[in-house]
Amino acid sequence: MSRRRWTNYCVALTLALLTSACSTSKDELLPHGRQTMMDVWQQGTSASNRQLIDARQALRRPLEPGQVDPNTFTRTAKNEIYSQFKRLPNPDLVMYVFPHLAGSDPAPIPGYSTVFPLYQRVQYAMPGERTEDY
């Protein structure tokens, strides 16, 4: 019986320690003061950090007038997908549906033309696979 009491005592002590370790005061976590968000931001970006940014800006060279638009060689998710995985052509099939009767009470349906894609899903070429005509 004393072993069970000792176990219960240890479990209770452990739970008490765990719950007290997670507690903190609201004022300690979110201190109140007269600082604005701009003050906090400027305090976070120190002078040395600002000097580093200024040095990087000085090293950047503008594009010369004859150079290509930077948007054409900038990597984007869309640009990467379309440059690596080219879309394969999916020709449309124009089909003519003849006049017919449809439904449980046969209703006449006039003839009409409709368009179907040849493939059910969009197909993509593997990277490096040639998609142009030979």
- Report the distance separating Cα 113 and Cα 95, nearest Å: 6
What are the domain boundaries of the chain? 2-60
- Report the distance separating Cα 11 and Cα 58, nearest Å: 63
- Report the distance separating Cα 37 and Cα 42, nearest Å: 9
Rounded to 5 degrees, what angle do the CA atoms 77, 60, 70 make? 35
- Report the distance separating Cα 94 and Cα 114, nearest Å: 6
- Report the distance separating Cα 69 and Cα 71, nearest Å: 5
Q: Digits of tens for pLDDT over the chain (134 positions)?
A: 577 888 888 888 888 777 766 667 777 766 677 888 787 777 766 666 777 888 888 887 776 766 666 666 677 777 676 667 778 888 889 999 999 999 999 999 999 999 989 988 888 888 777 667 64
